[in-house]
Amino acid sequence: MILVFRVILLIILALLWLIFGLTVCIFRPFHKGNIYCLTQMLRCGRWAIGIKVDSRIDPKAIRENMPAVLVGNHQYNWDIIVMADIPQPGTACIGKKSLMWAPIFGLLFFLTGNIFIERDKSSKAGNEILKIVDIIKRKKKSIWIFPEGHRSKGKGVQPFKNGAVNIANQAGIKILPFAISSYKIDLNRWDNGTVIVSALPPVSVDNLDRKGLKMATRQLRESISASIAEMDRENGFKRDVSDELESIAAEKENEAESSENK
């Protein structure tokens, strides 16, 4: 019964969000406050999924360090509701070009001023990064990135790709890391507990070579992972980190092989 009620409620809220979002974005397309407006609306979805958010984010501190690259862990699709306090006016997300053709949502994603890239073509990765760097410099935009590249689904923080650090390095801006404690949503349960969202100190990256990019990326991942572990202990949340440890081991093995081949 709870599940049915929640699903109906979420469908209604999603439709209202799309209608309001499209209305706002059509009247002021590509406005720097569009994504901020839409993510603030998503905060209403927290009570609908039965979760409380202990937000330790200081919006003023984020704005003072913008433009920047906002980086954090990505667990589930619900993250966009949980982390709605993070994006500030002037923030843009990065999405693959195929999203443009998604009914309604694709148009909304486009009109909010987000950036489309060719994610599936590794040969064009360098050009796509240059494109993002150019947008940051010209439009003073901040970029919101999940460097894991996909949802971890409760399996711990997965290895980070170098893209976020590379963009910050080339654009000459800081990285603003944030961490979300582990959680699990059960739509058939009234209370899904509390999630802690925390900001880490800004990270400066300048004039890094290829080796430096990898090291900075690893350190960034380790600091976010350590913050999550601390918040999980505070929350009393027990998570299975076996998949995370396997991913780290595989990453180190690949790096060792790459060094030997050089």
Residue indicated by tokens 């796509």: 128
pLDDT value of position 121: 57
Phi, psi of 240 (to 5 degrees): -90, 115
Q: Check residue 119 and give its pLDDT.
A: 66
Say which amino acid occupies 193. Answer: G
Query: In Å, how far are 17, 79, 104, 138, 157 from 25, measured between CA atoms?
Result: 12, 22, 12, 21, 34
pLDDT of res. 198: 95
What pLDDT, on the 0 to 100 scale, is given for residue 126?
76
Q: Among candidates 255, 172, 260, which has minimal Cα distance to 214?
A: 255
- pLDDT for the residue 185: 93
Structure tokens at 208: 């890094």
User: What's residue 240's pLDDT?
Assistant: 62
What pTM value is reported for the model? 0.86
pLDDT < 70 stretches in the chain: 119-125, 239-262
> Which residue, 44, 52, 68, is CA-closest to 197?
52
Its sign, for the CA torsion 22, 28, 31, 33, is: negative
Q: Given the structure tokens 């990065």, which residue do they identify?
A: 94
